Amino acid sequence: MNGAQDMGGMHGFGPVQPEANEPVFHAEWEKRAFALTLAMAMPGQWNIDASRFARENRNPAEYLSMSYYQIWFAALETMLKERELVSNDEIAAGHAIGSPKPVKRTLTPGDVLKVLHRGGPTERETNTAAQFKAGDRVRAKNINPVTHTRLPRYVRGHVGVIERVIGCHVFPDSIATGAGENPQWLYTVRFAGSELWGPNGDPTTAVSVDAWEPYLEPA
Amino acid sequence: MAHEHHHDHDHSELSETQLRVRALETVLTEKGYVDPAALDLLIETYEKKVGPRNGARVVAKAWTDPAYRARLFKDATPAIAELGYAGRQGEHIVAIENTPKRHNMVVCTLCSCYPWPVLGLPPVWYKSAPYRSRAVSDPRGVLKDFGVTLPPDSEIRVWDSTSEIRYLVIPMRPAGTDGWSEDKLAELVTRDSMIGTGLPKSPKDLAK
């Protein structure tokens, strides 16, 4: 979706402000919101792209006024309510009211390190051939889905070069909507700064994105 | 982000967030969906155990061990797993090499993708609008925000982490470090030098 999350190339946010000796978390609630988000992925049975969509799918003014863990937490509440794991009444009361919905699995303390170490690899076997090879010129398609996509606006319509054929990976646009993994070939595509930003671009810079085959056409 | 520094007793929007998070944790615990001990362990892992010192070990080894360096650039995920670092948000890692001619910088314009097993959780600025918006259009300006100036003719290559591939910058080994041990070299490797918004410390910095 063309939401506030898709920030590449926007102006007006001011300088980057690094914080010296920054702590990992800035408040106790950030720790809990972070851990709840990770832990609930297991009983919630959602995937990372569904989570990303739940985070970005909000009024841009609201998105830009929230801190990152506030966005994570709001998305967690949304997904829990959508899947009827938690009700508005329970959130308001701060206590369980209904009986719990049966879930396949929960995260036990004994499983934490194992689950983190395993992660969630997204590469998949395929018997299809990649359409592009390194060195091919491609154009990022002009697509504007209202659902989740990982093709940023700033490359759409622009021509780049395939730098690397990465492999066949789960397709976010599909899995985020519940339509299955639908694995697609994934490429690193390099764009010249002048191609992306015209005369305002720095000719000594280049930007790459990782783009799935359905995002690309021959140029 | 100054608004994140309020204390819990402040009657601010933040304390409202604090209450909401606490309430949701209670509901989820009472319903048996989460075990607070598992939450504690998740927090402890990313607060105390997983962080940029992991990545610094990888870089220092790449600086001293040519065979390891070759494995790292060929396929970083197993090479990094040799040191015990693997898993969530680092399932597919690619190591990218800074050279005198090319400087690399990593961003996630769409969210906050970051190689957790080697760098830990991202700093606030990495997830912030100023960085995500300008890293791709004005990388030299962003480097200036970090106090880094590169030769004007050096190429800057920005990697936008739009897929599940995570990028780790391998900075150039600082001059004057011949014969240094891996442990000592690792002390030169900063988090920002592995994101590409900084350079490693020099032996002089270390002496300070």
ipTM of this predicted structure: 0.97
Q: What is the pLDDT of residue A81?
A: 96
A9, two tokens: 């190339």
Cα distance between residue B39 and residue A46, in whole Å = 18
The yes-or-no verdict on residue B179 having pLDDT over 90 is yes
Instruction: Taking residues A96-124, report their average pLDDT.
Output: 95
Q: Kindly state whether B26 is in contact with chain A, defined as any CB-CB distance less than 8 angstroms.
A: yes
The DSSP annotation for B167-199 comes to EEEEPPPPTT-TT--HHHHHTT--HHHHHTSS-
Query: For chain A, what percent of residues have pLDDT higher than 70?
Result: 100
Pair B33, A85: CB distance under 8 Å = yes
The answer to whether the CB atoms of B131 and A67 lie below 8 A apart is no
Q: pLDDT tier at B207 (50, 70, 90 boundaries)?
A: confident
Average pLDDT, chain B: 94
Please list the residue range(s) of chain A that carry CATH number 2.30.30.50: 137-218
Find the catalytic residue in B12, B15, B108, B133.
B108
pLDDT tens digits, one per residue of B68-102: 999 999 999 999 999 999 999 999 999 999 999 99
SS3 for B129? Answer: helix
Q: What is the pLDDT of residue B145?
A: 98
The helix or strand, by DSSP H or E, that contains position A211, with its residue range, turns out to be: strand A205-212
The yes-or-no verdict on residue B206 having pLDDT over 90 is no
The yes-or-no verdict on residue B5 having pLDDT over 80 is no
Q: What is the pLDDT of residue B13?
A: 58
In this structure, whether the domain defined by B53-207 belongs to CATH 3.30.530.20 is answered with no
pLDDT tens digits, one per residue of A10-33: 999 999 999 999 999 999 999 999
Instruction: Taking residues B143-168, report their average pLDDT.
Output: 96
Cβ-based contacts of A195 with chain B (< 8 Å): none
The domain segmentation of chain B, as residue ranges, is 11-48, 53-207
The least confident of A42-51, A178-187, B165-174 is: A42-51
Please list the residue range(s) of chain A that carry CATH number 1.10.472.20: 28-118
Of the candidates B73, B74, B68, B131, which has an alpha carbon nearest to the alpha carbon of residue B105?
B131
Is B111 marked active-site? yes
The answer to whether the CB atoms of A15 and B30 lie below 8 A apart is no
Q: What is the pLDDT of residue B6?
A: 44
The answer to whether the CB atoms of A36 and B24 lie below 8 A apart is yes
Average pLDDT, chain A: 97
pLDDT tens digits, one per residue of A144-189: 999 999 999 999 999 999 999 999 999 999 999 999 999 999 999 9
pLDDT tens digits, one per residue of A116-136: 999 999 999 999 999 999 999
- Taking the CA of residue B105 and the nearest CA in chain A, the distance in Å comes to 9
> Greater confidence, B61 or B12?
B61
CATH code for the domain defined by A28-118:
1.10.472.20
The CATH classification of domain A137-218, taken from the options 2.30.30.360, 1.20.1740.10, 2.30.30.50, 3.40.640.10: 2.30.30.50
Cβ-based contacts of A111 with chain B (< 8 Å): 38
Instruction: Taking residues B42-59, report their average pLDDT.
Output: 97
Is B113 marked active-site? yes
A160, two tokens: 């780049």
The answer to whether the CB atoms of B163 and A169 lie below 8 A apart is yes
Report the number of secondary-structure helices (H) and strands (E) in chain B: 12, 4
The yes-or-no verdict on residue B9 having pLDDT over 90 is no
Looking at the partner chain, which of A11, A91, A197 has a beta carbon nearest the beta carbon of B24? A91
The answer to whether the CB atoms of B155 and A113 lie below 8 A apart is no
